[in-house]
Structure formats: structure tokens, C-alpha cells
Structure 1
Amino acid sequence: MPIYNKLVRDRIPEVIEKTGKKFHATVLSQDVYIEELKKKSFEELEEYIAAETGAEALEELADMFEILHAFAAVHGSTIQGVEKIRKEKEQKRGGFNERIFLVDVED
């Protein structure tokens, strides 16, 4: 029997049940949930980095976006609230569209 010990999407137990398999799962406390979301975010980032096609990359970005939604909710906000902060930061400091790579700064 494979051991997973990881955070999964909400409907995964339902998907497993439809296959007729038995499983064990638990609902995490808020603190443990946040820690597991952090682990999951690294897992999804690694999968994005390993993506070999644009379609695979977009699939992994969608997973990362789902995690961002969960992080926003955990911190009492929404993705729209996070987007508002992102836009404010972009106006003050810019985005990453110009591909600027800072080498050094003279003292």
C-alpha cells in the first residue's frame, strides 16, 4: 500500500472511492495545514520547473495558482486582495516583464 502523507485536493478522496479502493485521511489543524500548503507549493514549483512543454508548464501554474488561493484564504483574504497588493507593488517597484538582471551595485 503506497504511503502519501501529503496534502491533496478536496475531491481526491471522492476520486479514490470511485475506484473502490480504501484509504485513510485526516483533516489538518490550521497550523499544520499552513505548513502542508508550504510543502505543496514547493512540490508544485518543482513540477513546474521540470515541465517540458508549455502545456505542462501551464498545468503546473494552475496548481500553483490553486495553492495561492488557499494561502490567501488562510490569511483572511482572497486572490483579488492579493492581486490588489500585487498591483500596488508593481506600480511602486515594477514587475518582471523587462527581464532585468541586476549584477551589482557600487557602494
Structure 2
Amino acid sequence: MKSYDKLVRDNIPDMIKKSGKQCDIDIIKDDRILEYLYVKLHEEIFELVDNENLDEIADVLEVVFSIGKKYGFTEDEMLIKRNEKRSQSGGFENHILLKNVY
């Protein structure tokens, strides 16, 4: 038996069962979900750094969208805000490292 205490995607328990294994789950209460989402975000960011692939980017985005939803924002609102900020301040394509401001 392998033990976990981590947030997983909604279909993971069914996928485990379909593979012939059993699993125990709990449902996280709303007052603690952000704690688990932030832990999951850290996990997914480290996986992205290690694996550098589109699947890991999608996992990071899924967690970010879930966090935003808990703060009351839709995915569309988050993407609109991203585009507004990008239009106003730019993105990160030019790799600018700010060193000092005088």
C-alpha cells in the first residue's frame, strides 16, 4: 500500500479502480481547499521545471484556474485580466532582468 495526502484530479479515483486497484479518498472541506491547492501548485511547478513539457504546463494552469475559481473568478475573467496586463505591461518574451532603478 502506498500512502498519499495530496489533491488529485477528479477522475483519478475512477482511473485507479479501472486499473484493478482500490483507493481511499476524502473530500476536502471548502475551508481547507486553498491550502491543498497551493501545495498542489508547488508540486506542479516543480514537475514542470523537471519535465518541461506541455502536460506539466496544463497541470499548472488547471491548478491556477482552480485557485482563481475559489476566489470567485471565471477562467474567462482570468484570461481577460492576463491579456489586459500583457497589453499594458507586456509579457516576458524579451527576457528583461531589472537590476536597479535610480
Q: Which runs of 5+ in 1 are unaligned?
A: none
The list of structure 1 runs, each at least 4 consecutive aligned residues, that deviate by more than 4 angstroms after superposition, is none
- Secondary structure of the residue aligned to 1:61 is helix
Question: What TM-score results when the alignment is normalised by the length of structure 2?
Answer: 0.90
Superposed CA RMSD: 1.3
Q: Which residue of 2 aligns with 1:2?
A: 2
Q: Which runs of 5+ in 2 are unaligned?
A: none
Report the number of matched residues: 102
Q: How does 1:62-81 map to 2 (within 5 A)?
A: 62-81=58-77
Question: What TM-score results when the alignment is normalised by the length of structure 1?
Answer: 0.86
Could you give the per-residue CA deviations for residues 16-49 of structure 1, whole angstroms, max 9, x where no partner exists? Answer: 1112322210111112111111000110100111
Q: Which residue of 1 aligns with 2:20?
A: 20
- Secondary structure of the residue aligned to 2:15 is helix
State the percentage of identical aligned residues.
Answer: 36
2:46 equivalent to 1:46 = yes
